[in-house]
C-alpha cells in the first residue's frame, strides 16, 4: 500500500485546480511586511498551497513567494531577516487555495510582479475566479501577449495594462468591469495600494485603520490581531479604493472611485433584479467565524442557521426528543459545523456533545481533507482530522451538524464511524441548502458529476448513500430570510439551484 505522502505527491502533481485565497495589505505601517505576514496567517484557512509578500520601498519591489504555509515560508524565528529582505512601510500579500491551474505550479504564486508596463511597474494579488475568459485569453494570445502563469488572475493584469486609457487609475476605472467577476484584488505601485471588488461583490475585501496607516484584508478577523486596529468598512461592489502613502501621511483620506460598468453587465443585473451577488458560502463555511460582514458576525449567523433547521423540522425533532430523552445528542462536525450545532441545541433543548474532537496536531490534520485531489486521500484525511470518542456513542441517537454536504465524503466517513461505534440512529443537519450546481466564482465545487445532490436528486437517495437515517438542509427561503435579517446583502445562490450573477 502506498503511504499517504506518496498519494499526496502523485495526486497533487497532476491536479488541476484557481482561487479562493486570502489577501492582505498595509500602507504607511512600520514593518508593513511583518504586519501583512500576520494577517495572512490568521487567514490561512483561505488557502495554504502557497504564500507571497511583496513590499515596496523607494522605486523598488522586494518579494518572497514560495509554496507552503505562512509559518513555513515566514517562520516567526526568522522575522528579523525577513524584515530586512522585505523593507518598507507598504506591502501586499496573498495565500493561495488552488481550484484551477496547476496547484503547485511555482509561477502561479502571487502576488505577481509586472516589472514593465506603460503605466510603470505594479504588483498584483487576486482572490476569486474569472468567468468566461477563454475568449479574452485567446485574443490576448493572438495579439502576442506572454503569460508567465497558468492562473486566470494574470489575465486581469493584462486587461489593465492593455487599456487605451492614459492613466493607471482611469485604466482601472474603465477596463476592469469588462470582466464581470469574480475578483477582489490588491494592486501595489511605488506610492499606492489599490483595493477593488468586482461589480457584483462576489468576494470580500475590507479596510481598517491602524495608527497613521491602513490595513486591507479579505476578512475582518485579520484586523482583530492588532489592538490598535479599527475596522472601518468593506470596499463596495464595483468600488476602487486608492491608498496613497504620501497623502495618508498628510492625513488625507483614501480616494474612492467607481468602476465604469459596461451596459451589458448592467443589463445582466437589471434582468435579475439584483445588483449584489456576495458568495454566502463565505459566511456559511469559508470565513473565520469571528469575521463579520455588514456589522454581523458569522458565528451568530451560523447559530441562526442551525436554529432555523430545527424550526423548519420542529415536529420531527420534538418527537425525537420525547422518544430518546438524554440518549439524543447534537454533535458538531468541527470546525465549521460548531456554531450551527450550538444554535440547534439551544433552540431545541437537545444536548450538545463534541463526540468528534478535532486533532490539531495529527499528521495532515491541519489541512482541509476537502482539498485533497482524490477520493481515497479525502477519506483518509477526513478520518485523521476528527477523532471519534467511540466510548460515548454506544446506544445514542446522533444528530450531526455540518455546514454543507458537497461530495458526501465527510458525511459518509463520519456516519460509518458512528455506526461502527454503536449509534442507534443517525440524522445529518446542514447549514446550507443542497448544493446542486457548480460554483465557477471561486468556491471549490466545480465538478457537477461529483456533487452528491446533483447525482442523487432526492434527500432519501442522498441519505442512503451516506448511511444516514435522514438528512435535513436549511431551506433556501430560510437562508434568504436570515440573510435579510442579518447581513442585508444580495447573495449568489447559484450553487443552491438559484441565481448566479452571470449565466454561463
Binding stretches for Mg ion (CB under 5 A)? 336
Instruction: Find the helix packing angle between 338-348 and 298-312, rounded to 10°.
Output: 50
Query: Given the complex with ligand 5GP, which of 272 and 368 has the nearer CB atom?
Result: 368
Residue 371 is a binding residue for ligand 5GP (CB under 6 A):
yes
Q: CB of residue 382 vs ligand 5GP: minimum separation in angstroms?
A: 7
Cα dist from 449 to 378, 420, 438, 456, whole Å: 17, 29, 9, 10
Counting other chains too, the contacts that 360-364 makes at CB distance below 8 Å and 24 or more residues apart are 362/387, 363/4, 364/4
Residue 34 as a binder of ligand 5GP (CB under 6 A): the answer is no
Give the nearer residue to Mg ion in terms of CB position, either 237 or 340. 340
Min dist. Cβ of residue 435 to ligand 5GP (A): 8
Partner interacting with residue 163 (select from Mg ion, ligand 5GP, none; CB below 5-8 Å by kind): none
From 55-63, 79-87, 115-123, 396-404, give the range in contact with ligand 5GP by CB under 6 A: 396-404
Nearer to ligand 5GP, 44 or 117 (CB): 44
Distance of closest approach, residue 398 Cβ to Mg ion, in angstroms:
17
Give 21 or 386: the residue with its C-beta nearer to Mg ion. 386
Nearer to Mg ion, 336 or 348 (CB): 336
Distance of CA 44 to the CA centre of its chain: 10
- Locus of grid cell 456513542: 393
Tell me which residue has cell 479579505.
Answer: 218
In the bound state with ligand 5GP, the residue whose beta carbon lies nearer, of 173 and 385, is 385
Which DSSP symbol is given to 327?
A: G
Could you say which of 110, 291, 404, 434 contacts ligand 5GP (CB under 6 A)?
Answer: 404
Which pairs with CB-CB distance under 8 Å and at least 24 residues apart come from 240-243? 240/169, 240/172, 240/173, 240/176, 240/194, 240/195, 240/196, 241/194, 241/195, 241/196, 241/207, 241/216, 242/169, 242/192, 242/194, 243/25, 243/27, 243/28, 243/192, 243/193, 243/194, 243/195, 243/214, 243/216
User: Can you tell me whether residue 429 is helix, strand or coil?
Assistant: strand
**What number of chain residues touch ligand 5GP (CB under 6 A)?**
19
Does position 48 bind ligand 5GP by CB under 6 A? Answer: no
CB 237 within 8 A of CB 201: yes
Cβ nearer to Mg ion, comparing 153 with 410:
410
Closer to ligand 5GP at the Cβ: 222 or 333?
333
Q: Can you tell me the distance from the alpha carbon of 340 to that of 301, in angstroms, rounded to the nearest whole number?
A: 8
Instruction: For 252, list phi and psi in degrees, rounded to 5.
Output: -80, 150
Q: Does 53 bind ligand 5GP (CB under 6 A)?
A: no
Closest to 128 (Cα-Cα) out of 48, 197, 53: 197
Contact positions with ligand 5GP (CB under 6 A) in 435-494 = 443-445
Between 22 and 386, CB nearer to Mg ion: 386
Would you say the C-alpha torsion 47, 103, 69, 368 has a positive or negative sign? positive
For position 406 contacting ligand 5GP by CB under 6 A, the verdict is yes
Pick the closer one to Mg ion by CB: 153 or 409: 409
Query: Shortest approach of Mg ion to residue 402 CB, angstroms?
Result: 6
Least CB distance to ligand 5GP at residue 282 (A): 10
Q: Does 43 bind ligand 5GP (CB under 6 A)?
A: no
Which one of ligand 5GP, Mg ion, none is in contact with 404 (Cβ closer than 5 to 8 A by kind)?
A: ligand 5GP
Rg (CA), the chain: 23
CA 354 to chain centroid: 25
Dihedral sign computed on CA atoms, order 129, 131, 135, 139: negative
Q: How far is the CB of 404 from ligand 5GP (least distance, A)?
A: 5
Q: Lay out the site mask for ligand 5GP across 246-285 (x = CB under 6 A, - = otherwise).
A: ---------------------------------------x
- 333: contact with ligand 5GP by CB under 6 A: yes
Q: Among 105, 147, 370, 454, which residue interacts with ligand 5GP (rule: CB under 6 A)? A: 370
Q: Is position 302 an interface residue for ligand 5GP (rule: CB under 6 A)?
A: no
Read off the C-alpha cell for 210: 491602524
CA distances to 97, 325, 358, 399, 447 from 16, rounded to whole Å, are 12, 49, 29, 35, 12
Q: Which stretch binds ligand 5GP (CB under 6 A): 22-30, 134-142, 401-409, 469-477?
A: 401-409
Q: Which of 405, 434, 437, 493 binds ligand 5GP (CB under 6 A)?
A: 405
Other C-beta atoms closer than 10 Å to the C-beta of 313 total 17
- Alpha carbons within 13 angstroms on the beta-carbon side of residue 393 total 24
Q: How far is the CB of 302 from ligand 5GP (least distance, A)?
A: 11
Q: Is 425 in the site for ligand 5GP (CB under 6 A)?
A: no
Report, in Å, the least distance between residue 225 CB and ligand 5GP: 23
* In the complex, minimum distance from the CB of residue 371 to Mg ion, in angstroms, rounded to a whole number: 11
Three-state secondary structure string covering 43-59: CHHHCCCEEEEEEEECC
User: Which is closer to Mg ion, CB of 272 or CB of 358?
Assistant: 358
Q: Which one, 254 or 337, has the nearer CB to ligand 5GP? A: 337
User: Which of 43, 91, 51 has its CA nearest to residue 69?
Assistant: 51
Interface residue list for ligand 5GP (CB under 6 A): 285, 333, 336, 368, 370-371, 402-411, 443-445
Amino acid at each position: 500500500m502506498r503511504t499517504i505522502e506518496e498519494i499526496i505527491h502523485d495526486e497533487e502533481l497532476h491536479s488541476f485546480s484557481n482561487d479562493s485565497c486570502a489577501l492582505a495589505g498595509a500602507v504607511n505601517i512600520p514593518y508593513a511586511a511583518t504586519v501583512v505576514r500576520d494577517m495572512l496567517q490568521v487567514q490561512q484557512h483561505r488557502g495554504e498551497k502557497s504564500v507571497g509578500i511583496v513590499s515596496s520601498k523607494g522605486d523598488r519591489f522586494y518579494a518572497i513567494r514560495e509554496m507552503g504555509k505562512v509559518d513555513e515560508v515566514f517562520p516567526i524565528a526568522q522575522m528579523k531577516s525577513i524584515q530586512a529582505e522585505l523593507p518598507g512601510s507598504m506591502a501586499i500579500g496573498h495565500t493561495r487555495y488552488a481550484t484551477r491551474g496547476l496547484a503547485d505550479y511555482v509561477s502561479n504564486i502571487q502576488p505577481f510582479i509586472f516589472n514593465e508596463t506603460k503605466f510603470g511597474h505594479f504588483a498584483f494579488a487576486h482572490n476569486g475566479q474569472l468567468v468566461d475568459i477563454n475568449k479574452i485569453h485567446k485574443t490576448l494570445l493572438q495579439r502576442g501577449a506572454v503569460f508567465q502563469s497558468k492562473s486566470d488572475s494574470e489575465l486581469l493584469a493584462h486587461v489593465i495594462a492593455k487599456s487605451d486609457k492614459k492613466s493607471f487609475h482611469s485604466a482601472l476605472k474603465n477596463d476592469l468591469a469588462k470582466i464581470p467577476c469574480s475578483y477582489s484584488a490588491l494592486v501595489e505601485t511605488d506610492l499606492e495600494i489599490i483595493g477593488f471588488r468586482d461589480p457584483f461583490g462576489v468576494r470580500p475585501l475590507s479596510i481598517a485603520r491602524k495608527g497613521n496607516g491602513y490595513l486591507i484584508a479579505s476578512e475582518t478577523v485579520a484586523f482583530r490581531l492588532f489592538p490598535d486596529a479599527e475596522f472601518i468598512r468593506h470596499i463596495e461592489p464595483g468600488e476602487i479604493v486608492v491608498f496613497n502613502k504620501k497623502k495618508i501621511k498628510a492625513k488625507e483620506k483614501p480616494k474612492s472611485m467607481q468602476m465604469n460598468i459596461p451596459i451589458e453587465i448592467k443589463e445582466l443585473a437589471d434582468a435579475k433584479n439584483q445588483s449584489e451577488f456576495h458568495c454566502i458560502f463565505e459566511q456559511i463555511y469559508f470565513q473565520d467565524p469571528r469575521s463579520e460582514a455588514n456589522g454581523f458576525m458569522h458565528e451568530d449567523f451560523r447559530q441562526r442557521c442551525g436554529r432555523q433547521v430545527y424550526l423548519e423540522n420542529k415536529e420531527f425533532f420534538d418527537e425525537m426528543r420525547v422518544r430518546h430523552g438524554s440518549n439524543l445528542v447534537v454533535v458538531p462536525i468541527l470546525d465549521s459545523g460548531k456554531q450551527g450545532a450550538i444554535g440547534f441545541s439551544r433552540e431545541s433543548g437537545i444536548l450538545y456533545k463534541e463526540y468528534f474532537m478535532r486533532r490539531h496536531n495529527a499528521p495532515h490534520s491541519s489541512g482541509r481533507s476537502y482539498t485533497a485531489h482524490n477520493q481515497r486521500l479525502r477519506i483518509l484525511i477526513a478520518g485523521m482530522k476528527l477523532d471519534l470518542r467511540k466510548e460515548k456513542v454506544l446506544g445514542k441517537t446522533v444528530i450531526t451538524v455540518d455546514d454543507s454536504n458537497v461530495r458526501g465524503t465527510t458525511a459518509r466517513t463520519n456516519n460509518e464511524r458512528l455506526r461502527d461505534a454503536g449509534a442507534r440512529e443517525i440524522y445529518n443537519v446542514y447549514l446550507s441548502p443542497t448544493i446542486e450546481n457548480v460554483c465557477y466564482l471561486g468556491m471549490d465545487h466545480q465538478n457537477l458529476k461529483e456533487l452528491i445532490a446533483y447525482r442523487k436528486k432526492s434527500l432519501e437517495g442522498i441519505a442512503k448513500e451516506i448511511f444516514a437515517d435522514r438528512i435535513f438542509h436549511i431551506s433556501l427561503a430560510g437562508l434568504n430570510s436570515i440573510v435579510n435579517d442579518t447581513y442585508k446583502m444580495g447573495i449568489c445562490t447559484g450553487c443552491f439551484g438559484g441565481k448566479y450573477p452571470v449565466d454561463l
